[in-house]
Amino acid sequence: MIEAIRDAMDVMMARDGDVVVFGEDVGFFGGVFRATQGLQAKYGKTRCFDAPISELGIVGAAVGMAAYGLKPCIEIQFADYMYPAYDQIVSEAARLRYRSNGQFTCPMVIRMPAGGGIFGGQTHSQSPEALFTHVCGLKTVVPSNPVDAKGLLIAAIEDPDPVIFLEPKRIYNGPFDGHHDRPVVPWSKHELGEVPDGHYAVPLGKAAVRRTGADVTVLAYGTMVHVALAAAEETGVDAEVIDLRTLVPLDLDAITASVGKTGRCVIVHEATQTSGFGAELSALVQETCFYHLEAPVARVTGWDTPYPHAQEWDYFPGPARVGRALLETMEQ
């Protein structure tokens, strides 16, 4: 996925001279995860450069650049570090089109490695997607595989409004097959093949059916897509797994079509449960599919605790926890 993300930025920087990439250690070093490696050498220090250790400053500068015609694609080194910049994201980037009555827009992308899986503890493992989906004016993207990561990032850079691009670092470098608590070889058979060369875009707001089924719908995104696929196979439940890909805009049509067919729904995400994005999904399913439901909507999530470093792999919803939810839902 890292190589796919780097390729997306490379493609867009070559196509559009207004695209600039910057952040902490993004230039010379190539980023803490090496997602920008080689871009400064190829495009120069005015197109890919290092920023001071100030997330507020990084986002604030990007808002100004975007307002005056550039297309910044910035990196917040970890999603956990975005809180000092939250005011700039919410009060400036998300509002600029509306407060200026369309005179200014904010075509910028904020890339953030998110989620756990690297024993990073409380300050390197958070999944804050719900903090962005609540904000009008922001789009929120969470890819689950390299093919989508490249296409979605290209679409995000080309979008005229601010996009939050959360990159699940547990599947950054692979390999991960979903059946185990820890990454193992090889990648899941559900991996979507070779990443195409050159320019292509995956439209924002379109979910993907990763597994067809007739008995229960599983809604997931990011790393949890692979876990949901593994749980369906291990339990033998005929589950339909929907990879949301973008949380805002949300492909509600795909959700309602699937739940209308299966009559059951299990929602899986790594973030804490209370006020997580799964609550919004549950409400939407109840509102739009009430007369189709044969059982209550179930959620399988991270714990409602600060991120537990020592118990990281128990905190994650794994195939066992998701599998139990599938079986319990089928029994109702």
The DSSP-derived string for 215-240 is SEEEEE-THHHHHHHHHHHHH---EE
pLDDT(122) > 70 = yes
pLDDT in tens, 63-86: 999 999 999 999 999 999 999 999
Question: From the candidates 124, 190, 226, 269, which is the catalytic residue?
Answer: 124
Six-digit token string for 209: 């059916």
Split at pLDDT 50, 70, 90, the class of 190 is: very low
pLDDT at position 179: 54
- Domains within the chain, CATH numbers bracketed: 2-171 (3.40.50.970), 208-331 (3.40.50.920)
Token pair 């979903």 in the structure block, residue: 178
User: Tokens representing 120?
Assistant: 């990073």
Q: Which residues contact 7 (CB under 8 A, 6 or more apart)?
A: 150, 195
pTM here is: 0.94
Residues 6+ positions from 136 with CB-CB distance below 8 Å: 94
Supply the angle between the helices 146-158 and 2-15 in degrees, to the nearest 10.
Answer: 30
Least confident of 121-135, 200-214, 275-289: 121-135
Question: What pLDDT digit, counting tens, does each position of 298-313 carry?
Answer: 999 999 988 887 788 8
pLDDT of residue 184: 37
Going by their DSSP bridges, the two strands 239-243 and 208-211 should be labelled as: antiparallel
pLDDT digits (tens, 9 = 90+) for 152-186: 999 999 999 999 999 999 898 865 555 555 443 33
Percentage of residues of the chain with pLDDT beyond 70: 94
Can you give the pLDDT at residue 178?
54
134 is catalytic: no
CA-to-CA dists, residue 80 to 116, 121, 124, 217, 218, angstroms? 11, 10, 6, 31, 27
